[in-house]
Structure 1
Amino acid sequence: MALILFTSFLVLLFLGVPVAIAIALASMVILMQEGVPLMLVAQRMFSGTDNFSLIAVPLFILAGDIMARGRISERLVEFADALLGFLRGGLSIVAVMAGMFFAAISGSGAASTAAIGSSLVPELKRKGYCETSSASLIAASGTIGVVIPPSVPMILYAVMAQESVSRLFLNGFIPGVIMGLVLIVIAIRQAYQRDYPPGSPFSVANIARTFYRAIWGLLTPFIILGGIFSGFFTPSEAAVIAVNYSLIASLFIYRDMGLKDIYRIMRRSIITTGVIMFIIATSSVMSWVLANWNIPAMIAQSVLEISTNPYVLLLLITLLILATGIFVETASALIILTPVLLPLVKLLDICLVHFGLIMVMGLAIGMITPPVAINLYVASSITGLPIERISRSVIPFLLGLLLVLFIVVYLPLFVPVIF
């Protein structure tokens, strides 16, 4: 049964069928073979999206789109440049720092790449930085967008694993910061190898001026995440506040967009949300098929026959996540893999928050690994560079992110109090 299900799904994917439809059709093959009424498909699709926590998904997407379209990202880049731009290769550091700031606002890797890339790429070219390396660094920095909270993939995982969104958000900070620091170290090394010029002279007055201009953007993560962690409001309520705050900042404080812009942004956010929610709905059908025929338990048992060593099994699970992220978009891969791997993770007695971070980080790395590599495509569209050139330049940053991933995978086994 499992072989038929996954073979059908893979064949449909290779034929170019969209992921959501491939999931639904593969599930329907099993249902028809077993004589189950297809009315179940509609019932499961409805129940799969009937979850209050999922309200946060479209709202965080909308908030991220508003902030990416407005001048908030530009102000964040200016402030980061004032803080660190005086160093050799300082603009590379600014790219990562600005990406981390924006990650704490948008919850989206592609949005972070687009917002920071649009602001920084012209300046990087003007100051003589290697264009392909700069584009790949910005794309790699975009992966932090789904690790530092708020994070749309973390919300999706929390719903499927019935885990706390707040706990996932709280534990996403340190891995996200480490990812940023590793990228900064690699960028500084490249800056000295290529003799990049030092930036503008350090100026306290400039820091104060840019901080004042960026204060509304810098306050956003403190308001959203501070409210969640203090228990003042839930993640879903925080998403509503994020949308209202971003609208007020863009329309009345920075005054960088009008009602026509809001309409276009909402239209784009609705399309993105529709795609994600359709995947969630069809995945609910596949989850029912998996559970009804006990497929995850059989997969777990088969894997345990290979080895019972948790270190080996975690390596196999991580490699599977990385391989899936290469070929399948982050949200789709997460929704597909979570119900399959959860029984095995529970048998290994791995903390579900820890596993959620492994899932999100592993699939985030897929954003810079072709052929899917959405962040590389965004960087390519901003710079006009061929995707092949950016893909070669991203390798050092990819290796650095893999190092951080495996630290997160194995460190809690030695220090179990982390989560």
Structure 2
Amino acid sequence: MAIVIFIFLAALIAGLPVFIALAGSSLVYTHFIAHIPDFVVLHRMAGGLDSFPLLAVPFFILAGNLMNSAGITNKIYDFAVAIAGWMRGGLAQVNIIGSVIFSGMSGTAIADAAGLGTIEIKAMKDHGYSTEFSVGVTAASATLGPIIPPSLPFVIYGMMANVSIGALFLGGIIPGLVMTIFMMAYVWWCARKYGMGRDQAFRWRVLFYTFIAAVPALMTPVIIIGGMAFGWFTPTEAAIAACAWALMLGAFLYRSLSWKQLYKVTLDTVETTAGVLLIVAAASLFGWVLTTTRLTEQAADALLSITTNPYIILVLVNLLLLVVGCFLETIAAISILVPVLMPILLKVGVDPIHFGVVMTLNLMVGLLHPPLGMVLFVLARISGLSVERTTMAILPWLVPLLLSLLAITFIPELTLWLPRYMGMLK
């Protein structure tokens, strides 16, 4: 098994795509070491994709792409300015509020950074904020994308851990609000320290008109979360409803979505979905190899021989995930690590819904840093800063994010209260 791990790590370091590293290292074991027939290997990979919740993946990706292309982000941003532009460090607060709203539509951090980031960074620079500060707050707020539902990582985690995706979605709401509070408090502290002013006066009239314009867009999270909470549809059906609603807004209400844009959005969705599913299939095979070689069982026994304290184990797992998140794409990390970590956490009494939120937040922090931080590279391109300067701009924002992570890790009820209240957990 050491050979398989070595080949996997060597392939990643060499810059090969994640799914090739996963599949290639697994095939070395199945073909040359265990001599497993090829049809069994193909069956394991196909079995990894034979899951009803995975049908939600392309639809959530499509919904996020439609929201970006239909110009809905502008309506959200204008409404956020009306809400928070009067505060000290106003546009930085707007940046965070805008991400909270957009997170209820996109489901990914990259969509948040690419969609709202372009508008937010330009507006902040025009109002005299430094490029570095603008990039830092945009990167930090983008991590809300997969925490506040809907969430593409939650769908993959729910499938791998065999837990309710609806409960995961509800479990992410309060942690998302906790992150929002920590980030807004950090902006307030920066505003006091550096003498930032207010960017516009508060006007009820402006708030009213921007709210009316944004109401159709704001209905997206209501449709998704409300529909699942009241049992009207499953997460997969919620994703389809979100796509239909986004398409109606872009094509008929706002009339900002052309046939050419729709064609491009569809192709982008097919490309992204194919990449995600290739990783899931390869990771399913890799996870099966880890299980058949008893590596997951040995890892659990080794860790539990050190300590059985759930909080110490959570601290160790958090450290592991923060490192892994800097090197592995989120979907691959979830697909590989859930089969390894879940038996350990279940033995010490950690709720899988709680751990799903903790794991996703850890991996979102990894998106902000080299060598594979996708949000980092997206914002470096948008802002025109070098990757090095973008990294340094993001570093201070790890403070509110890590404080949020500590709170969410050590206070499980932040995650579990709402799913219990709605009857999705016992």
Shorter-chain TM band: over 0.9
Confirm or deny: 8 A CA contact 2:287 2:335 kept in the other structure: no
User: CA offset at residue 184 of structure 1?
Assistant: 1.0
The answer for the alignment partner of 1:46 in structure 2 is 46
- The corresponding residue for 1:317 is 317
Query: Contact 1:85/1:93 (CA < 8 Å) preserved in 2?
Result: yes
- The CA distance in 2 between the partners of 1:80 and 1:47, in whole Å, is 44
2:104/2:148 contact within 8 Å kept: yes
Equivalent residue of 1:326, what SS? coil
Q: Which residue of structure 2 lines up, in the alignment, with residue 22 of structure 1?
A: 21
CA shift, 1:189, in A, is 1.6
Matched AA of 1:16: G
| Deviation per residue, 1:343-402 (Å, 9 max, x gap) | 111211211111111111111111112222211211111111112112112122112111
More moved, 29-38 vs 203-212: 29-38
How much has 1:291 moved relative to structure 2? 2.1
Deviation beyond 6 Å, 4+ runs, structure 1 = 413-419
1:117-165, Cα deviation, whole Å (9 max, x unpaired)? 1222221111101111111110111111010000000000000111000
Letter of the 1:211 counterpart: F
1:380 aligns to what? 380
| TM-score between both structures, scaled by the size of structure 2 | 0.95
8 Å CA contact 2:321–2:363 kept in 1: the answer is yes
1:251 and 2:247 aligned: no
Name the counterpart of 2:424: none
Question: Which runs of structure 2 are paired with 1:98-137 in the superposition (5 Å)?
Answer: 98-137=98-137
AA of the residue aligned to 1:28: L
Distance 1:413 1:143, change over 3 A: closer
Paired residues of 1:140 and 1:375 also in contact (CA < 8 A): no
**1:136·1:379 contact (CA, 8 Å) conserved in 2?**
no
1:214 is displaced (CA, Å) by 0.8
**Mind listing any 5+ residue stretches in structure 1 that lack a counterpart?**
none
Cross-structure match for 1:79: 79
Aligned residue-pair number: 418
**Alpha-carbon distance between aligned partners in 1 of 2:401 and 2:414, rounded to the nearest angstrom:** 21
Distance 1:147 1:120 in 2: 20
Q: In the alignment, residue 393 of structure 2 is paired with which amino acid? A: S
State the Cα distance separating 1:41 from its structure 2 match: 2.1
Shift of 1:309: 2.3
- Does 1:55 find its partner at 2:55? yes
Task: Report whether the alignment pairs 1:145 with 2:137.
Answer: no
Cα pair 2:354 2:415 within 8 Å, conserved = no
2:154–2:360 CA contact under 8 A, matched in 1: yes
The answer to whether the 8 A contact 2:76-2:217 is kept is: yes
Supply the distance in 1 between the matched residues of 2:318 and 2:79 (Cα, whole angstroms).
Answer: 37
CA deviation after TM superposition for structure 1 residue 417, in Å = 6.5
> Residues 186 and 396 of structure 1 are in contact (CA less than 8 Å); yes or no, is this contact kept in structure 2?
no
Is 1:203 aligned to residue 203 of structure 2? yes
Pair 1:271–1:415, CA change in 2 (3 A): closer
Using the TM superposition, name which of 93-102 and 119-128 deviates more: 119-128
Q: Which amino acid aligns with 1:364?
A: M
Structure 2: how far apart are the matches of 1:43 and 1:27?
A: 14
C-alpha displacement of 1:414 = 11
**2:8 aligns to what?**
9
> What is the alpha-carbon distance in structure 2 between the residues aligned to residue 361 and residue 416 of structure 1?
16
Change over 3 Å in CA distance of 1:16–1:75 after alignment to 2: same
Q: Measure the CA separation in 2 of the matches of 1:226 and 1:415.
A: 18
Q: Greater shift after overlay, 367-376 or 353-362?
A: 367-376
Which whole-Å CA distance do the structure 1 matches of 2:266 and 2:416 have between them? 43
The answer for unaligned runs of 5 or more in structure 2 is 421-426
> In 2, Cα distance between the equivalents of 1:61 and 1:253?
21
Offset of residue 412 of structure 1 = 2.5
- 1:328 is aligned to 328
In the TM superposition, 1:359-378 aligns within 5 A as: 359-378=359-378
**Counterparts of 1:417 and 1:146, CA distance in 2:** 19
- 1:208 Cα shift? 0.7
Contact 1:76 1:214 in 2 (8 A): yes
User: TM-score, normalization: structure 1?
Assistant: 0.97
The CA RMSD over aligned residues, in Å, is: 1.6
